[in-house]
Amino acid sequence: MEKIPTHRYSRTAAILMAAAAVMPLASHVAHADSLVQQEIARRAAQVQEADAALLDGRKLYAEGKFEEAVAEYRKAINLLPSGPVVADRRHAYTGHLVDGSIALSQTYRRVGRYADARQTLSDVIAKDPLNVAAKQQLEYLDDPIRTNPALTYEHTQDSEKVRKQLYRAQGYRDLGKYDEAKEEYKEILRVDRYNEAARRGMEKIADVKSDYYRAAYDHTRAELLMEVDKAWEIAVAPNVNFSEASVNPTIVDVTGALYIRRKLQNIILPVVDFQDVTVDQAIDILRLRARELDTIELVPSKRGVNFVVRTPAVIDADGDAEAGEFGGTAKLGSQTISSLQLRNVPLEVVVKQICDVTNSVTRWKTML
């Protein structure tokens, strides 16, 4: 008697069960491949960034900016991923860093930063113990002939500042701004007391100013001498046609005391300088100068003002008249004017000053 199986065998179901067993393993492998690809892409990007930093460092090195170049070299090395794939590239980057560090140490040594130079060379030797150039630079640091032990970084900074100020002072001097240039030279001497270039610059400025002041002296002297000479000029009467008096309303016929008064007001004396002169002497001078400076009178014989000095007469008990004897008073013409100095004043003012000094009065009238 045959036995009938309780479960019917199905080939399709077996295949499906086998596929279900393999699916988890395939999914894990695909995920792992994705992570590997991401890591490879990340490392490739880091290598590109490191290469770019290296190129920037080489450019800065060529420009002599060693401190910035060393910073870029260090950045490139730090960007490189770890692993034997980039070992050659890391070695090349380190070579650039060593070269830049040695050049930087030389710069430090020239400007007096000896501690920074020694530390930089020590870092190089730590990376490359057999580097001959680094060891030689360390020896130079300890050599007092090649390296000035008294040099400091502050001194080099002051030297650079003085150099720029000298150029600035020279620029001011070329532009004719001598005061600004002199101030720059003073600032230089405050930093560098014995700077010869600053002293020479101030010397040249003093020479230029001296030439100017000498020219100013000559000009001022000439102007003042001209004024003195001008005071001795004899005025010339204008050439006026007498027929104009009938047609020109500005020409007015003035006679009598008003005519004399007008002359006294219009005759201007450039210089009046009386020192210990008598009234008669002063009046003689005024009479002469009035004739020379009278530009109002058109008739030559009537030019000037005729002054007459009279001492008041005193009648005594017998009825006789004697001049200048009242109270023992001396004659007016013999009185002395101790000092009278005036400039550019009308003749009327001079006469009034003389009257005030001698306690006398004036009267104006025409002489027929």
**Mean pLDDT of the 285-307 span:** 83
Predicted pLDDT at 213: 95
- pLDDT band of 276, cuts 50, 70, 90: confident
At residue 321, the pLDDT reads 47
Query: Residue 32: pLDDT band by 50, 70, 90 thresholds?
Result: low
User: In this predicted structure, which of 37-46, 106-115, 318-327 has the lowest mean pLDDT?
Assistant: 318-327
> How far is 93 from 87, CA to CA, in rounded Å?
10
Tell me the C-alpha distance between 56 and 72, whole Å.
Answer: 7
pLDDT value at residue 356: 84
In tens, the pLDDT along 13-22 reads: 455 455 455 4
Query: What average pLDDT is seen over the chain?
Result: 79
* Averaged pLDDT, 328-337: 70
Question: Which residues touch 345 (CB under 8 Å, ≥6 apart)?
Answer: 268, 269, 272
Q: Average pLDDT for residues 312-318, to the nearest whole number?
A: 55
Place 224 in a pLDDT band, splitting at 50, 70 and 90.
very high
Whether 250 has a pLDDT exceeding 70, the answer reads no
Distance CA 188, CA 201 (A): 11
Report pLDDT for 237.
61
What is the distance between the alpha carbons of residues 165 and 91, in angstroms, rounded to a whole number?
A: 46
- pLDDT tops 60 at residue 332: yes
Check residue 186 and give its pLDDT.
94
Pairwise pLDDT comparison (87 vs 320), residue with the higher score: 87
Q: What value does the mean pLDDT take over residues 37-48?
A: 81
Residue 246, pLDDT score: 43
Query: pLDDT tens digits for 94-137?
Result: 888 888 888 988 888 888 888 888 888 888 888 888 888 888 88
State pLDDT tens for residues 55-71: 998 999 999 888 899 89
Measured distance CA(355)–CA(304) in Å, rounded: 19
Q: pLDDT tens digits for 153-191?
A: 888 888 889 999 999 999 999 999 999 999 999 999 999
Q: Indicate whether 328 pLDDT > 60.
A: no
Cα 169 → chain centroid:
10
Q: What value does the mean pLDDT take over residues 244-270?
A: 66
The reported pLDDT for the residue numbered 252 is 45
Is it the case that residue 242 has pLDDT exceeding 50?
no
Q: Average pLDDT of 326-347? A: 74
Query: pLDDT: is 367 or 190 the higher one?
Result: 190
User: What's the pLDDT at 163?
Assistant: 93
Could you give the C-alpha distances from 186 to 159, 160, 203, 346, in angstroms and in order?
Answer: 15, 16, 12, 55
